Structure 1
Amino acid sequence: MNNKVLLVEDEESLAEVMQAFLQRDSFDVEWVADGGAVLAAFERLAPDLVLLDLMLPSVDGLTLCREIRARSQVPIIMVTARIDEIDRLLGLEIGADDYICKPYSPREVVARCKAVLRRYQAMSPLAQALPDNANSPLTLDQATLDGYWSGQALALTAVEFRLLYTMAQEPRRIFSREQLMSNIYNDHRVVNDRTIDSHITKLRRKLAAVDSEQEVIRSVYGVGYKFELPL
């Protein structure tokens, strides 16, 4: 079965080119040009990936990304021509899994889509389970990329899930930023240290929201981070 892509782009000529390239690589593509029609299309199509332009009529891409992420952990690739948004997208603080700058090569976009889907699909129920710990309040559902702390949903993005999953697999192990980047970005893109720091900050915030008394992600000065459950 082909992967389904929801292509959200208001430039018709660009959308037609992108749709043709994706279909050539066996993606099923539905194109939406207006931001106001995106959520209905998302619910109807149940896509495997969303390719989402930042600047759209009716509803902008940032708002749509947050709305989609509140409903699903489906991979989202943001597309932008706005240089002033790059820092925010580098941190992927809106819940997106990747970003692409205009003008772009359609072949590169197809390659990015494949890479994001490979990462997403690698976190399947067949992946290695977390170490058994009957006393652990943390539950990570690899099938849905959902995380729970003492039964309370953490509302993780796909990147946050991979980051937490990586550290929780080996409690007390110290991971360098480079090791974490390699685990969550296995397409070897170039990202800087503050990208990981940004994700760690958000993870801590989400964990603190459900349990303010526990600090399970610890910084090791000059080295990196580790996950440590309370005794």
Structure 2
Amino acid sequence: MDIKILIVDDELKIIEVVKSYLNKEGYKVYEAMDGKKALQIFDEVNPALVILDLMLPDLSGEELCKTIRKKSRVPIIMLTAKVEEDNVIQGFNLGADDYVTKPFSPRQLIARVKALLRRSEDDIMTLSDISSYNDNELIIDNFRHEVRKNDNLVNLTNTEYKILITMAKYPKKAFTREELVLLTMGDDYDGFDRVIDTHVKNLRQKLEEDTKCPKYIKTVHGVGYKFGGE
């Protein structure tokens, strides 16, 4: 196994404990204690997953997450001491795929890592390698795992991408939040299903010209969401 994981935390003890558990599972671990070093390592090794603390000494975890999201859909697990739902939703808004609150069980964190890596490797594919909608305005390239809007690359998180291609595969189906959680985040996800609303909001901001009147990610009142591309 040569799966690379980057841990970013300014607490050496946390890094050592998490690294020890990850090494036992066979992962190749890289570590950084500040944002600038983390970005340098990220560009050098292209990790399969990032474990990111929100409180860093130089570049904040929020800023680092935003920077990574501009260039990659790599799964990101945020570590935070804030357990309020609003703080968790804010983390998802920044582009995180999952969160773990401090103090945490290392075994629980490893389980989250494995679940995210499984989801990122799953082959939820649309009917063809390249699908285009609305006279090529929106193009989903499953071969390259890319999405383009008006020929411009759209930077989606791994979860956002999975939500989009899951709904695009069945454009007439209205998905409940529970179905989208199961299909895109796995049956081992134990968060709240309303987090799908946050991912959908982010998708709309990236894909829609008018988020109040969406063309691609439509709300089905009383049910959930469906894909509206033609």
Q: Does 1:29 align with 2:20?
A: no
Q: Which SS does the other structure have where 1:83 is aligned?
A: coil
Instruction: Using the TM superposition, give the Cα deviation of residue 46 of structure 1 relative to its aligned residue in structure 2, in angstroms.
Output: 1.2
Alpha-carbon distance change, 193 to 28 in structure 1, aligned in 2, over 3 angstroms? closer
Assess if the C-alpha contact under 8 Å between 2:80 and 2:101 holds in 1.
Answer: yes
Runs of 5+ consecutive residues of structure 1 not aligned to the other structure? none
Q: Distance in 2 between matches of 1:223 and 1:40?
A: 44
Assess if the C-alpha contact under 8 Å between 2:31 and 2:38 holds in 1.
Answer: no
- Aligned partner letter, 2:99: Y
Instruction: Using the TM superposition, give the Cα deviation of residue 180 of structure 1 relative to its aligned residue in structure 2, in angstroms.
Output: 1.1
RMSD, aligned CA = 2.4
Q: Distance in 2 between matches of 1:122 and 1:176?
A: 21
Q: Distance in 2 between matches of 1:159 and 1:218?
A: 18
Match of 1:129 among 126, 129, 132: 126
Instruction: Using the TM superposition, give the Cα deviation of residue 133 of structure 1 relative to its aligned residue in structure 2, in angstroms.
Output: 6.1
Q: Distance in 2 between matches of 1:24 and 1:129?
A: 36
Post-superposition Cα deviations, 1:142-199, rounded to whole Å, max 9, x if no partner, equal: 3554211342222211111111111000111111111111111114323334311222
Q: Distance in 2 between matches of 1:150 and 1:130?
A: 21
Q: Which SS does the other structure have where 2:173 is aligned?
A: coil
Q: Which SS does the other structure have where 2:194 is aligned?
A: helix
Instruction: Using the TM superposition, give the Cα deviation of residue 135 of structure 1 relative to its aligned residue in structure 2, in angstroms.
Output: 5.5
Q: Distance in 1 between matches of 2:229 and 2:14?
A: 49
Percent identity over paired residues:
38
Residue in 2 that maps onto 1:79: 79
Larger mean CA deviation between 177-186 and 143-152 belongs to 143-152
- Aligned partner letter, 2:114: K
Assess if the C-alpha contact under 8 Å between 2:8 and 2:52 holds in 1.
Answer: yes
Q: Distance in 2 between matches of 1:50 and 1:172?
A: 35
Instruction: Using the TM superposition, give the Cα deviation of residue 212 of structure 1 relative to its aligned residue in structure 2, in angstroms.
Output: 9.9
Q: Which SS does the other structure have where 1:71 is aligned?
A: coil
Larger mean CA deviation between 182-191 and 8-17 belongs to 182-191
Assess if the C-alpha contact under 8 Å between 1:4 and 1:48 holds in 2.
Answer: yes
Residue in 2 that maps onto 1:101: 101
Q: Does 1:151 align with 2:151?
A: yes
Residue in 2 that maps onto 1:52: 52
Assess if the C-alpha contact under 8 Å between 2:89 and 2:198 holds in 1.
Answer: no
Residue in 2 that maps onto 1:7: 7
Alpha-carbon distance change, 134 to 215 in structure 1, aligned in 2, over 3 angstroms? closer
Residue in 1 that maps onto 2:120: 120
Assess if the C-alpha contact under 8 Å between 2:125 and 2:165 holds in 1.
Answer: no
Q: Distance in 1 between matches of 2:76 and 2:133?
A: 34
Instruction: Using the TM superposition, give the Cα deviation of residue 226 of structure 1 relative to its aligned residue in structure 2, in angstroms.
Output: 1.1
Q: Distance in 2 between matches of 1:158 and 1:23?
A: 24
Instruction: Using the TM superposition, give the Cα deviation of residue 78 of structure 1 relative to its aligned residue in structure 2, in angstroms.
Output: 0.6
Assess if the C-alpha contact under 8 Å between 2:4 and 2:29 holds in 1.
Answer: yes
Runs of 5+ consecutive residues of structure 2 not aligned to the other structure? none
Residue in 1 that maps onto 2:18: 18
Larger mean CA deviation between 75-84 and 57-66 belongs to 75-84
